[in-house]
Amino acid sequence: METKPQINQKIELTLKGLGIHGEGVGSWQGYTLFVDGALPGEVVEARVVETKRSFGRAQALSYRTLSPHRVTPSCPLFGKCGGCQIMHLDYAEQLVIKRQRVVDALERIGKLTGIEVLPCRGSPLPLGYRNKIQLSVISSPTGVKLGLYAYNSHDLVEIEKCPIHSALGEEVFHQLLSLLKPFSPEELGLRYVLIKSAIHTEQALVIFVTEGEATFALRKIARALKESCSIVRGIVQNINKTSGNTVLGKEYHVLEGEGAIEERIGGLTFKVSPASFFQVNPLQAEELYNKALELAELNGEETLLDAYCGVGTLSLLFAKRVKRVIGVECIPSAIADAKENAKKNGIMNVEFTCNDVERYISTLSAVNVALLNPPRKGCATSFLEKLSQLAPRSIVYISCDPATLARDLAYLENRGFHTETVQPFDMFPQTAHVETIVSLSHDSIF
């Protein structure tokens, strides 16, 4: 029987695992407690700071036992900035923990046992891998500063460098910081700055998010950045007049240079526009895409459905190996980029349509292979039901959330599919996130 501790009560706690946000997880007299910064295997003296019906939170006051996997974080802002959650855990152990998170989700949520989960595939770059950084403007008496949100907070932490940001992006960031500092936020009318970089083509795109028209000072900075930083191909203004948490508005204006950059993946060239989604770890993304091609076991005669196709990256990579690809995405700008990417690469056997996959799948009569890459919420039950009726011989499912993956796999297992391969991928080193690719085959092929 569990006993709930009192607020401010001091307890000794042994941590047994990590939560989905990277916090340590332990049990005190049967009651689950989360402790920020603590690692599995550590024993802490902690003060209880929050209690709910089934779990609570505690603050570590001292460590009685430290994990042998604890390391010194490579960023001095670790623990303050919310960008990284497990930089204090050695990288090999990060991969072990991420694999276990997938195992736990399959067993606890999906009630799936006996499925082998392969070791988590590590990133080629544990640091310096991100091709995108999104920064908020901080008002300061000494000029404009840029920052990221603090952990579990809307407070901002000023940053001047980021260890997980690509070297290319950092070069642009440092140059931009030096140009921004003499100005006040009011002179610039600036809310956010986004930097997108393409490591294979060595190009960068900078997006200034403002509340209104670009000021004279902002245009001056854009011109100076374009002239002083050769890898910057364009500076784009985005106007966002809303007061909520949404960063990008719908209106774009090119201030300098071009309105998009290009990146190469798998021998193809892709447009990276201000609003388009592109995997933030391009080197690991290429490994993930190669694994998807391998698991699909294609013979060249297939009709393939790419649900949630985004800007068409996987659709176009698969198009070289199949007879026909149908790419479906509900975001109009993504479909526009996908069509442009197909034209750019001279690929003719792909059809892109802007629609909800839940609605569009009802129009299909047959597909041989289905590629699923849904958002964090996973696939709608209505979509999975229609997909089960189509009974493709194989499904390749790429997931960014083990919990919804487990739920969807359980549904498919109950409708004639068999889980073959489960391979976690570390797309976001130093964070608690894990990506997983799964292959399923239909029972009719056995």
Backbone angles phi, psi at 370, to 5 degrees: -120, 130
Q: Which of 75, 81, 354, 400 is catalytic?
A: 400
**Domain residue spans in the chain?**
10-65, 95-124+281-445, 132-265
Average pLDDT over residues 154-159: 91
Answer whether residue 327 shows pLDDT above 80.
yes
Average pLDDT over residues 117-132: 98
Considering the chain, what percentage of its residues have pLDDT values greater than 90? Answer: 91
Q: Which two structure tokens, joined as six digits, stand for 11?
A: 């307890």
Fold of the 132-265 domain? OB fold (Dihydrolipoamide Acetyltransferase, E2P) (2.40.50)
Q: pTM (2 decimals)?
A: 0.93
Rounded distance between C-alpha atoms, residue 75 and residue 128, angstroms: 12
Rounded distance between C-alpha atoms, residue 302 and residue 324, angstroms: 7
Rounded distance between C-alpha atoms, residue 292 and residue 370, angstroms: 11
At 224 the pLDDT is 98
Rounded distance between C-alpha atoms, residue 289 and residue 425, angstroms: 11
Which of 352, 404, 353, 354 has the alpha carbon at shortest distance from 381?
404
> In the structure, what pLDDT confidence band is assigned to residue 139 with cuts at 50, 70 and 90?
confident
- Who wins on pLDDT, 153 or 21? 21
Which alpha helices (DSSP H) does 297-438 contain, by range?
313-319, 332-344, 357-360, 381-390, 402-413
- Quick check: 259 and 236 in contact, CB under 8 A? yes
- Quick check: 256 and 223 in contact, CB under 8 A? yes
Rounded distance between C-alpha atoms, residue 87 and residue 162, angstroms: 12
Q: Hey, which residues does 234 pair with through a beta bridge?
A: 205, 257
At 244 the pLDDT is 78
- Quick check: 279 and 270 in contact, CB under 8 A? no
At 186 the pLDDT is 84
Strand ranges in 115-231 using DSSP code E only, listed in sequence order: 132-138, 145-149, 156-158, 190-198, 203-210
| Residue 212: DSSP 8-state | S
- Quick check: 46 and 59 in contact, CB under 8 A? yes
Backbone angles phi, psi at 438, to 5 degrees: -130, 140
What value does the mean pLDDT of the chain take?
Answer: 95
At 445 the pLDDT is 61
CATH superfamily, region 95-124+281-445: Vaccinia Virus protein VP39 (3.40.50.150)
Answer whether residue 446 shows pLDDT above 60.
no
Answer whether residue 72 shows pLDDT above 60.
yes
Q: What is the pLDDT of residues 342-384, one digit of tens each?
A: 999 999 999 999 999 999 999 999 999 999 999 999 999 999 9
| Buried b / exposed e along 352-383 (16+ C-beta atoms within 10 A) | bbbeebbebbeebeebbbbbbbbeeebbeeeb
Q: What is the pLDDT of residues 200-232, one digit of tens each?
A: 999 999 999 999 999 999 999 999 999 999 999
Alpha-carbon distances, residue 147 vs 144, 166, 225, 383, 422 (angstroms): 10, 17, 19, 40, 37
Domains 95-124+281-445 and 132-265 share a fold: no
The dihedral built from the CA positions of residue 163, 132, 435 and 129, taken in this order, carries a sign that is negative
Residues 6+ apart with CB under 8 A from 148: 81, 82, 83, 135, 136, 156, 157, 159, 162
Active site residue 81: no
At 247 the pLDDT is 92
Considering the chain, what percentage of its residues have pLDDT values greater than 70? Answer: 99
> In the structure, what pLDDT confidence band is assigned to residue 112 with cuts at 50, 70 and 90?
very high
Answer whether residue 1 shows pLDDT above 80.
no
Among 1.10.3720.10, 2.60.120.10, 3.30.390.50, 2.40.50.140, what is the CATH number of 10-65?
2.40.50.140
Average pLDDT over residues 385-408: 97
Q: Which two structure tokens, joined as six digits, stand for 372?
A: 């699923």
- Quick check: 442 and 416 in contact, CB under 8 A? yes
CA angle 239–241–244, rounded 5-degree value: 120
CA angle 416–421–425, rounded 5-degree value: 130
Alpha-carbon distances, residue 24 vs 15, 146, 405, 433 (angstroms): 6, 30, 23, 15
